[in-house]
Amino acid sequence: MSSVESQQEQSSQSDPSPSPNSCSSFELVDMDAGSLYEPVSPHWFYCKIIDSKETWIPFNSQDSQQLEEAYSSGKDYNRIVPTDGGRYDVHLGERMRYAVYWDELASEVRRCTWFYKGDKDNKYIPYSESFSQVLEETYMLAVTLDEWKKKLESPNREIIILHNPKLMVHYQPVAGSDEWGSAPAEQGRPRTVKRGVENISVDIHCGEPLQIDHLVFVVHGIGPACDLRFRSIVQCVNDFRSVSLNLLQTHFKKAQENQQIGRVEFLPVNWHSPLHSTGVDVDLQRITLPSINRLRHFTNDTILDVFFYNSPTYCQTIVDTVASEMNRIYILFLQRNPNFKGSVSIAGHSLGSLILFDILTNQKDSLGDTDSEKDLPSIFIDQGDTPTLEEDLKKLQLSEFFGIFEKEKIDKEALALCTDKDLQEIGIPLGPRKKILNYFRTRKNSMGVNRPTPQSPAGANMSNIPKESEFYSSTNGLDVGIGQVPVKYPRLIYKPEIFFAFGSPIGMFLTVRGLKRIDPNYRFPTCKGFFNIYHPFDPVAYRIEPMVVPGVEFEPMLIPHHKGRKRMHLELREGLTRMSMDLKNNLLGSLRMAWKSFTRAPYPALQASETAEETEAEPESNSEKPSDVNTEENPVPVKEEAPPIHVGMLNGGQRIDYVLQEKPIESFNEYLFALQSHLCYWESEDTVLLVLKEIYQTQGVFLDQPLQ
């Protein structure tokens, strides 16, 4: 037996798949193998960069089947297949996957049949489609003719050997083996080769329900990262959506089986990138000290977003971006889902919740009411006074490129139709191109212009969308809007059903602005519900209800655990507290009875005061009842007679503040988990379940079993 075959045998023993124990066993193949050959079942994958590494992720079963059907039809090379619930489009001819609602790098797509195991993470990597076809043809001949030990060379000069159907290995070439033109040889530990996705360890989901019942826009807080893993808002909302799909299957199973509900679609709204592409980062960099560079960069990129929002100039950019993005995505969503009949809600995390609160505060009560001319921004009043292209470029500090636009006879209307490739062809560098495109795209979106989307199906009903003159609403002087930055607040082209705030500093900002109390009769002009959801250790979160009912102290609503019970350590804490109170009451009662027995005769004044106490606590003075009976009877009437808590109409008469239950490990040290608590909402089942429960409750759909 050669050394190569010995290495192959040793490596096959370490592989989890069945392997032969001797060299002769390599040749033990069924003589009737020709009749056992079946074509391999393909599955579609896409490549994504995760932690600076290329990772191949399988499409869910539903999307992979649609892609395979489109591929097998062979009718349209340029066919576009929507995947991932319609959030991505796969251009079949290009083998590329594009995001629909947000900006994201396109990812490669493959029709995968053969895989090899990677070196570091032991995840299987698909071969290219062309080489997979070569492998499949070789495998078919080996099975049909019963001729194994087939050796193939991949395009990058790597060796694949097919010993038998259960043992196939992949060798990397020896370094420098091609210096003299010689064929590559095997070296190192071989990689395992697998045929068909069913033979590799990978999670493939079934897919998402096609029916969309409700649409939720999610707005992020400060900075480009939304959790401790420095993930973007898109990735965090993906987690939020995945948790919601799992909870729908477990807590709304009856409604799904009866086809009463489908799913809730969550779409992210990004305002950080447009804000920091206005050129402000360049201005900040000129005045930033060179010391502790990383900390200062982090401050400029995250914490300063709070100060930007308190600046009239950049606050206008932020609210314009948030509102225009939600309007744009909503229009695009209707175009791609013409049968959508559900409602829309909005959710904001941290500073994003404050942005949404201010936008909702400054909406008009009716979408049909138009603003007067004095309330409209200048871009809607007098087109003759709008800034010229030269003035816009000067504002972006790009005046040196005006000559290029003038030479090419490009005005503002023509520039609005230009793409990145067009600007590149006339000689505009990458940085200025991005600034120009983002600036004019933001201005165009705020004016209600719908960007053309060739992949979007036509036929959506747009009759309820306001005209562009209705997109802005002036500050209307409401008390709840006191202290707001004097900017023009854009109009939303829909009425949100519910507003969810996660880890929100709304209460703190309203207090700092000078608002001491929210009128109990106040409600958002266009939104019915408002839920302030927070973790008890979140350092950024503040309550809202004490501003509505300042004279009454009461606890927030405790969010039930998604498993239908209170966390064990909280139950234990409450039990110990209750037991200590009972012991304290019993001890005080016993001491009081003992004191009465010793002081009844000699102290008349004290006896008189004791008689008064007996009149209140013991109706029968000569009764010999134990004191613990009295202590048990006293608290009951207090609870029954406690008046109900009215927290105004901000949430339609319902409670506003809802607090999560901390985990057992978090209760050991509140400060240690403070930052994590502010970023915990994306993967919190309790938070997602509360959102789903309130959304479907408006449609008359309830949980399978009420949570306690």
Closest CA to 196 of 45, 53, 27, 63: 45
Q: At CB < 8 A and 24+ separation, what contacts does 248-251 make? A: 248/692, 251/562, 251/689, 251/692, 251/703, 251/704, 251/705
Contact 688, 239 (CB under 8 A): no
What's the token pair of residue 438? Answer: 């983002």
- Token look-up 């105004």 returns 648
Alpha helices, DSSP H, located in 453-567: 506-512, 545-548
363 in Cβ contact with 492 (< 8 Å): yes
Cβ proximity of 38 and 220 under 8 Å:
no
Backbone angles phi, psi at 343, to 5 degrees: -100, 175
Q: Identify any residues that bridge with 160 across adjacent strands, giving them in sequence order.
A: 152, 170
Nearest to 271 by CA among 378, 332, 214, 348: 348
Residues known to be catalytic: 350
Angle, CA 683 vertex, CA 320 and CA 668 arms, to 5°: 115
Measure the CA angle with vertex 21, ends 15 and 24; round to 5°. Answer: 125
Which single residue is written with the structure tokens 């994504």?
48
What type of residue sits at position 607? Q
Output the six-digit token pair for 676: 């994590």
Question: Which residues are 346's β-sheet partners?
Answer: 217, 499
For residues 331 and 451, what is the distance between their CA atoms, to the nearest angstrom? 10
Contact 183, 158 (CB under 8 A): no
What lies within 8 Å, CB to CB, of 151 at 6+ separation is 159, 160, 161, 162
Taking phi over 0 as left and psi of -120 to 50 as alpha, with beta for the rest, 430 belongs to: alpha
CA 63 – CA 61 distance, rounded (Å): 6
Token pair 């992979």 is found at 64
CB atoms within 10 A of CB 481: 17
Between the alpha carbon of residue 702 and those of residues 393, 411, 464, the distances in Å are 55, 56, 30
Measured CA to CA, the distance from residue 91 to residue 87 in angstroms comes to: 13
Apex 695 CA angle, 693 and 701, nearest 5? 65
